[in-house]
Chain A
Amino acid sequence: MIASEAVEQPPAPADAEELSKERIAYLERIVTQARTAAAVFGQFTQEEVDRIVKAVVLAGLEQAQHLARLAVEETKLGVFEDKVIKNMVATEFAYNYIKDKKTVGIIREYPERNLVEVAEPIGVIFSMLPITNPTSTVLFKCIMALKTRNAVIFSPHPKAWACCSEAVKVMYEAAVAHGAPEGVFACLGTHTLEDNAYLMHHKDVALIDATGGPNAVKAAYSSGKPALGVGAGNTPVYLEKTADLNAAIVDIIISKTFDNGTICASEQTVVIDDEIYDAALKKFAELGAHICNEKETRLLARTVIDPQTGFMQPMAVGQKATAIARFIGLTVKPRTKLLVAPIQGVGADHPLSVEKLFPVLAVYRAKSSEEALKVCVDVNHAGGLGHTAVIFSHNDEIIRKFSEVINAGRIIVNSPGSIGALGAVYNDLVPTFAFGCGTGGGNSTTDNVNIYHYLNIKRVARRTQAHMWFRVPNHIYFNMNAVENVAQFASRSTIVLTNPALERMGLVDIVRRYIPPETHVHLSVIPDAEPEAKVVLEGVEGLKFYQADQIIALGGGSVIDAAKIMKLKYESPNADLEELAAPFLDLRKRVVEFPTEKVIKARLIAIPTTSGTGSEVTPFAVLLDKKHGRKITLADYSLTPDVAIVDPQFVMSMPKGLTADTGIDCLTHALEAGVSNYASPYTDAYAMQAIRLVFKYLPIAYEYPQDEEARTMMHNAACIAAMAFSNASVGVNHALAHAFGARFAVAHGRANALMLPHVIAYNAAVPAKFMPSPYTQGYVAHKKYATVADLLGLGGTTVEEKINKLIAAVEQLLDKLDFPHSIAGLGISKEEFERAVPELADAAYNDPSWRSNPRMPLVKELVELFWKAYSGRGTADVVAAQHGKTA
Chain B
Amino acid sequence: MATVSVLRNLDEAQLASMLEKASEMLADNIREVVMDFSAVRRINASAIPAMEEFICVAEEKGITVVLLGVNVHVYKALKLVKLASRLSFRELNWMNSFEQK
* Dominant secondary structure of chain B at its interface with chain A: helix
Contacts of B45 in A (CB 8 A): 36-37, 40, 181-183
**Is the CB of A13 closer than 8 A to any CB of chain B?**
no
Can you list, as one digit per residue, whether each of A150-190 has a CB less than 8 Å from chain B (1) or not (0)? 00000000000000000000000000000001110000000
Residue A420 at the B interface, CB < 8 A? no
B74 cross-chain contacts in A, Cβ below 8 A: 43
Q: Does B44 touch A at the CB level, under 8 Å?
A: yes
One of B44, B46, B49, B80 near A42 (C-beta < 8 A): B80
Q: Provide the residues of chain A in CB contact with B80, threshold 8 Å.
A: 35, 38-39, 42, 123
For chain A, the count of residues having a C-beta within 8 Å of the partner chain is 12
A43/B81 in contact, CB under 8 A: no
Number of B residues contacting the other chain (C-beta, 8 Å)? 14
Q: Are B73 and A43 in contact (CB under 8 A)?
A: yes
Interchain pairs with CB closer than 8 A, number: 36
Contact yes or no, A43 B46, CB < 8 A: no
Please indicate the chain B residues that have their CB under 8 angstroms from the CB of A183 in the complex. Answer: 45
Instruction: Write the nearest CB–CB distance from B50 to chain A, whole angstroms.
Output: 11
Inter-chain contacts of B48 with A (CB < 8 A): 36, 39-40
Nearest Cβ on chain A to B46's Cβ, whole angstroms: 7
Residue of B42, B49, B76 near A36 (CB, 8 A) is: B49
- Please report the C-alpha to C-alpha distance between residue A39 and residue B77 in the assembled complex, in whole angstroms: 5
Query: Cβ of A43: which chain B residues have Cβ within 8 Å of it?
Result: 42-43, 73-74, 76-77
Q: Is the CB of B76 within 8 A of A40?
A: no
Q: Which of B42, B43, B46, B48 has the most CB of A within 10 A?
A: B48
Q: Give B75-91 interface residues, CB cut-off 8 Å to A.
A: 76-78, 80-81
CB distance from A881 to the nearest CB of B (A): 41
Please give the distance in Å from B49's CB to the nearest CB on chain A.
7
- Find the residue from A37, A40, A183 having the highest chain B CB count within 10 A: A40
Bound Cα distance A603, B74 (Å)? 70
A123 vs B49: C-alpha distance when bound (angstroms) = 17
Least Cβ distance of B87 to chain A in Å? 14
Enumerate chain B residues within 8 angstroms of A35, measured Cβ to Cβ.
80-81
Residues of the B chain whose Cβ atoms lie less than 8 Å from the Cβ of A38: 80
Report the minimum CB–CB distance from A205 to chain B (whole Å).
13
Q: Which of B49, B73, B77, B78 has the most CB of A within 10 A?
A: B77
Nearest A residue to B77 by beta-carbon distance?
A39
Chain A residue at minimal CB-CB distance from B44:
A40
- Chain A residues 22 to 45 lying within 8 A of chain B, measured CB to CB, are 35-40, 42-43
CA distance A183 to B76 in the complex (A): 18
Q: Write out the residue numbers on chain B whose beta carbons fall within 8 Å of the beta carbon of A181.
A: 44-45
Q: Residues of A with Cβ closer than 8 Å to B?
A: 35-40, 42-43, 123, 181-183
Q: Give B contacts to A, CB under 8 Å.
A: 42-46, 48-49, 73-74, 76-78, 80-81
Q: Can you spell out 29 A-B residue pairs with CB atoms less than 8 angstroms apart?
A: A35-B81, A36-B45, A36-B48, A36-B49, A37-B45, A38-B80, A39-B48, A39-B76, A39-B77, A39-B78, A39-B80, A39-B81, A40-B43, A40-B44, A40-B45, A40-B48, A40-B77, A42-B77, A42-B80, A43-B42, A43-B73, A43-B74, A43-B76, A43-B77, A181-B44, A181-B45, A182-B45, A182-B46, A183-B45
Sample of 7 further A-B pairs with CB below 8 A, known A36-B81, A39-B81: A39-B78, A39-B80, A40-B43, A40-B44, A43-B77, A181-B44, A181-B45
